[in-house]
Amino acid sequence: MNVMAEVRAAKHLGQHFLVDERVIDQLVSAIDPRAGESLVEIGPGLGALTLPLLRESGAMSAIEFDRRVLEPLQIKADRIGQLNLINADILQVDFTSLGLASPLKVVGNLPYNLSSPIIFHCLAQRNLISDMVFMLQKEVVERVCAEPGSKAYGRLSIMVQLYCACEALFDIAPDAFDPPPKVDSAVVRLTPLAEPAWHVEDFARFDELVRAAFTQRRKMVRKSLQQYFSAEDFAVLGIDPTARPETLSGEAFARLADYRRTS
């Protein structure tokens, strides 16, 4: 292992620095950086992944919130290639402001406490992105890729799969990080679809219904969605009112969202 210890990981930032070179090699292979691509890393930290990516790509951008790591990372990067290091909160970054040609390849070891908001932030800018490769808590990867009927299936599964093809790549043990997290991690590839997986006319209503259903995921949908639909509505839509939300496909939620009672 190659532990870069210039800066200690900050617990309040959810930092766990990747230090296992075997895992780093796996990640670089999965990302497959190439010269001329618009590569953006979220949360480069001390550069364990950044530097090998930079060696392959020659130039890339990285967005880092922690000011402490900026100088040591920039010094290392300047010996290898052209790193555009941006000190910012990723949730406030408009990717068009980076001045890069789209599509972007977005990668990163995401802090566990912000992984879902960051994914949603990237989904909102998916028209600029070719693919995303993220290290996440293994449980989150399972939720992202889950199919209807599984315990992991939920709002995150549906909202991500509406816009992306999801592929779980490999797991990472805690000892690959410094400090080791208390849970396993995993790597996922999210590839934006040319068109949403299901036709949704009213996205706000779709989001509202999915959220309402999974807020009460143990209840039958006739209960959790009773303020929106009658028994007759479920019958017209061909959806079992006694079903629980984790058994409904994203397409079923899309039909619910687009349904308008005719009488």
Number of domains in the chain: 2
Tokens 């299901």 belong to 198
Smallest CA-to-CA distance from 118 within 105, 106, 101 is with: 106
Smallest CA-to-CA distance from 87 within 64, 69, 107, 106 is with: 64
User: Domain for residue 95, yes or no?
Assistant: yes
pTM of the model: 0.91
Do residues 134 and 160 lie in contact, with contact meaning Cβ atoms separated by under 8 Å?
no
Are 218 and 250 in a shared domain?
Answer: yes
Tokens 């930092």 belong to 15
pLDDT tens series, the chain, 263 aa: 333 445 554 455 445 678 999 999 999 999 999 999 999 999 998 899 999 999 999 999 999 998 988 999 999 999 999 999 999 999 999 999 999 998 999 999 998 889 999 999 999 999 999 999 999 999 999 999 999 999 999 999 999 999 999 999 999 999 999 888 889 999 999 999 999 999 999 999 999 999 999 999 899 999 999 999 999 999 999 999 999 999 999 999 999 999 986 65
98 vs 1: CA distance, rounded Å: 33
Determine how β-strand 164-172 pairs with β-strand 38-42: unpaired
Give the pLDDT score at 1: 36
Question: What is the CA angle 139-105-23, rounded to 5?
Answer: 50
168 vs 141: CA distance, rounded Å: 7
Domain of 89, in residue numbers:
11-192
User: Domain for residue 6, yes or no?
Assistant: no
Are 43 and 150 in a shared domain?
Answer: yes
The enclosing domain of 134 has a CATH number of 3.40.50.150
Are 133 and 44 in a shared domain?
Answer: yes
Beta bridge mates, 107? 41, 133
Are 168 and 246 in a shared domain?
Answer: no
Are 35 and 152 in a shared domain?
Answer: yes
Do residues 135 and 18 lie in contact, with contact meaning Cβ atoms separated by under 8 Å?
yes
Q: Provide DSSP, 181-234.
A: PSS-EEEEEEEE-SS-SS--S-HHHHHHHHHHHHHTTTS-HHHHTTTT--HHHH
60 vs 84: CA distance, rounded Å: 6
Are 110 and 166 in a shared domain?
Answer: yes
